[in-house]
Amino acid sequence: DYASARGLQLAIEHFPTGEIPSAREAIELIEGAKLNNLGLLLDTGHLAIAGEGLDDAFRCASEKVVHVHLNNNDGSRDLHWPPQDGTLTELDFRRLVSAMYGSGYDGNVSVEIVNPDPMAETISRSMAFVQKLLVGRRGGRQAEKKEGL
């Protein structure tokens, strides 16, 4: 297809109040599509709303995850709060990171926040939170290949 011929990776994002309400249903759709360049964008805020555990959802989908959005909310609305603010705890995120590293995940991770106030301070706190989660972790599949593991 057009995207595959150009080396483009495509991703489906699950959305708890939409047509693809869970990560598990997104995986079923991706597997049914039978496209090598179609993966899953796993969103932590959406997992919280759907009641899916972050680490369990990642483990279930690990071979298909190509991007992870880190954000938080009140457990019912898609608010895109910073990951350190909301119903998801630091332990939830630590378990997710552990699952990611345990699988050798080497895809992208981004903090997805909407209208932070104050912006610079919120972004700085979010980056510090994520860096704290990653301290002492080694890289994913690419780092292992470079190190000959």
pTM: 0.89
Give the helix/strand (H/E) hosting 109: strand 108-111
What does the pLDDT read at residue 147? 41
Q: Which of 144, 48, 139 is nearest to 100 (CA)?
A: 139
DSSP 17-64: TSSS-SHHHHHHHHHHHT-TTEEEEEEHHHHHHHT--HHHHHHHHTTT
- pLDDT-above-70 percentage for the chain: 92
What does the pLDDT read at residue 146? 43
Give 19-40 pLDDT, tens digit per residue.
999 999 999 999 999 999 999 9
